[in-house]
Amino acid sequence: MNRREMARAGGVFAGLAVMGAVMSKPALACSDDDLKKAVEEFRKAMVEGNGARLLELMSDDCSFGHANNVIQTKLEFVKTVVEKTEVFKAINLSGHDIKVSGDTGIARHVFDSDLNFMGKDMHLTLNILMVWRNEDGRWRLIARQSFKPITV
């Protein structure tokens, strides 16, 4: 490659870099309070059986883990709520611990719920870990794992 070809190639790379910088949107900051609101919206959507709202709050590649080792995709979980396989009569969240780092947020809490699962009334108390990602200025759930509290 001669000097002229190298200069031309360098100009192309510089142009691509400038174009990328101009076209990329800066990430819109989301605070701890914004994440806490998203967690509350998710809770409300579960109790209301609002599949459309759950779909909005979950990333397409969400992994939803249950304390009984069942792992569901976004659509599998929402289907159980919409088809009333799981009917959440009440959900109370307590002990919130929310941390935001860049475009990622972690929410931990205690999930205390009265529900009907496959026709059987139950009460569950679980610990929950939720991982959220800022997608276009909105928090979307990318992973959730529940686990049973250890009693000593």
Q: Is there a domain that residue 98 lies in?
A: yes
40/110 Cα distance (integer angstroms):
13
CATH of the domain at 54: 3.10.450.50
Which structure tokens are listed for 125?
Answer: 């108390």
**135 in any annotated domain:** yes
What's the burial of 63, exposed, middle or buried (CB within 10 Å: 0-12/13-18/19+)?
A: middle
Residue 7 lies in a domain: no
- Distance CA(19)–CA(22), nearest Å, equals 5
State the SS3 of 65-108.
ECCCCCEEEHHHHHHHHHCCCEEEEEEEEEEEEEEEECCEEEEE
pLDDT of residue 23: 34
Copy the structure tokens of residue 74.
Answer: 């976004």
CA-to-CA dists, residue 64 to 12, 21, 77, angstroms? 44, 35, 7
The answer as to whether 107 is a domain residue is yes
From CA 139, how far away is CA 122, in angstroms rounded? 30
pLDDT score for 135 = 93
What pLDDT, on the 0 to 100 scale, is given for residue 26? 40
Q: How does pLDDT run along the chain (152 residues), one tens digit per residue? A: 555 554 444 444 444 333 333 333 344 557 889 999 999 999 999 999 999 999 999 999 999 999 999 999 999 999 999 999 999 999 999 999 999 999 999 999 999 999 999 899 999 999 999 999 999 889 999 999 999 988 77
Is 79 inside a domain boundary? yes
Considering the domain boundaries, does residue 96 fall inside one? yes
**Is residue 93 a part of any domain in this protein?**
yes
- Domain count of the fold of the chain: 1
23 in any annotated domain: no
The parent domain of residue 45 ranges over 29-147
pLDDT of residue 111: 97
The SS3 call for residue 3 is helix
Q: How many Å apart are CA 130 and CA 108, to the nearest integer?
A: 6
